[in-house]
Amino acid sequence: METDHNPMEMPNNMGFEEDSDYRDFEGTDVKDMRLEAEAVVNDVLFAVSNMFVSKTLPCAEDVAYINVETRERNKYCLELTEAGLRVVAYAFDQTDDSLQTPYHETVYSLLDSLSPAYREFFGNALLQRLEALKKDSQS
């Protein structure tokens, strides 16, 4: 699954090069969902209270789990697969097989549906970035 890129500046070096867990994937076509999950976290961490890839639930080539706490202090465990992201529990590091939530193509769409505070914070950050770009282009 491809993640959308937001206009916020993100660090170019996320430290994966030196981590031996990721070296095996260099130069291959295998998509490791843990890498995808880390990218998702890095994209939106600024707009939520807490977000991290689960170290308890298993990550594999086809699935990873992300824990997120919204600014409203609601906790979720998200499943990331090629189909997208969806809520699989209302607590960290858990899955509830009876929970049938829809997949979202992007983390932005999922968080937008879960958290009005995320939507407002993300919108304000985007507006500030656009104003900074406008100011830079005028100087």
**Domains detected in the chain:** 20-138 (3.30.2280.10)
Provide mean pLDDT across the span 55-83.
96
- Does the global pTM surpass 0.75? no
- What's the mean per-residue pLDDT of the chain? 83
> Is pLDDT at 57 greater than 70 in this prediction?
yes
Percent of the residues in the chain that have a pLDDT greater than 70, as a whole number: 78
Convert the chain into a string of H (helix), E (strand) and C (coil): CCCCCCCCCCCCCCCCCCCHHHHCCCCCCCCCHHHHHHHHHHHHHHHCCEEEECCCCCCCCCCEEEEEECCCCCEEEEEEECCEEEEEECCCCCCCCCCCCCCECCHHHHHHHHCHHHHHHHHHHHHHHHHHHHHHHHC
pLDDT tens per residue across span 89-110: 999 999 999 999 999 999 999 9
Q: Which comes out higher in pLDDT, residue 23 or 131?
A: 131
